Amino acid sequence: MLATYHTVTCTGEHEIIIQKSRFIANIARVETEAAAQDFIQQIKKMYWDATHNCSAYMIGEHDQIQKANDDGEPSGTAGVPILEVLKKRKLKDTVIVVTRYFGGIKLGAGGLIRAYGSCASEGLNHIGIVERRLMQNIHVIVDYTLLGKLENEIRNAGFTIKQIQFLENVNLEVLTEESSKQNLIDWLFDLSNGKAAFVEGEFEYIEIEQN
C-alpha cells in the first residue's frame, strides 16, 4: 500500500463554453477498470445526443492501467489531453469523461487539445483533490485516571483520536503514520510513567483536502 497518493474528492460535473461548443467534464473516483468503464457508459447514456464523449482514466498504485479514448475526435486531440492532465496532477484511481456539444465553430487540432485539457483541468479544480495518507491505528490502553492527561497531550500534539472505548480500561484509538509509530508509543509510555499498554491495529487511509 502506498504511504500517500492523490485522487479526486468525489464524483462531480463542471461545464465550460469554448467557441460556442459546450464541454462538460464528469469526474469520478474508481478503483478498477470495470468501474471506470461503467462510469463512462453511464455518462454516454446521459449525454446520448452529444457530439462526442471522450474519456481517460488512470488506475492502480503504479498507474498500471491507463486508457484514453477520442470517441470520434481526430486521433490524439481529446482522450490523450485528458490523460495528460491526470498524469500532470499525479492523480490515481480517477476517470474523466469530457462531453462535447459542437457549437458550429471548428477548433482545429491544437484548439481541441487545449479545450479538452482545459475542461478536464477546470473540472478537477471545481470538484477538488484529496491526499489519501496511510495511517496505522494504535490502541492505547490505560487506566481511567490517565485519560484526561493523555487525551489532551495526544490532541495538542496533532494526532487524531479515532475513538475512545470505555471498557475495563480506557482504549484510545490513535492514528499515526508508520514512520512515527514508535515515537508515539515511546512518548505515551513515558507520559503514562510506563502504565500504558499498546496494541498495533489495522492500517487505513485518511483523506486530507488539498487547496
Domain boundaries, the chain: 7-127, 131-209
In CATH terms, are 7-127 and 131-209 the same topology? no
C-alpha cell belonging to residue 123: 473540472
- DSSP letter string, 166-190: ESSSEEEEEEE-GGGHHHHHHHHHH
**What is the pLDDT at residue 1?**
86
**What is the pLDDT at residue 168?**
93
Q: Look at residue 207 and give its three-state secondary structure.
A: strand
Q: Name the phi and psi angles at 3, rounded to 5.
A: -65, -35
Question: What's the Cα-to-Cα distance from 9 to each of 98, 110, 173, 205, 208, rounded to whole Å?
Answer: 18, 30, 25, 13, 9
Record the pTM.
0.88
**What is the pLDDT at residue 210?**
85
Q: Which long-range contacts (CB under 8 A, 24 or more apart) does 178-182 make?
A: 178/3, 178/134, 178/136, 178/203, 181/136, 181/138
Question: What's the Cα-to-Cα distance from 170 to each of 115, 167, 181, 194, 198, rounded to whole Å?
Answer: 57, 6, 20, 15, 12
Question: What's the Cα-to-Cα distance from 114 to each of 1, 8, 17, 88, rounded to whole Å?
Answer: 35, 21, 13, 14
C-alpha cell belonging to residue 157: 500534539
Tens digit of each residue's pLDDT, the chain (211 residues): 899 999 999 999 999 999 999 999 999 999 999 999 999 999 999 999 999 999 999 999 999 999 999 999 999 999 999 999 999 999 999 999 999 999 999 999 999 999 999 999 999 999 999 999 999 999 999 999 999 999 999 999 999 999 999 999 999 999 999 899 999 999 999 999 999 999 999 999 999 988 6
**What is the pLDDT at residue 20?**
94
The domain 7-127 having CATH identifier 3.30.230.30: the answer here is yes
**What is the pLDDT at residue 70?**
98
**What is the pLDDT at residue 131?**
96
Range 131-209: architecture per CATH: 2-Layer Sandwich (3.30)
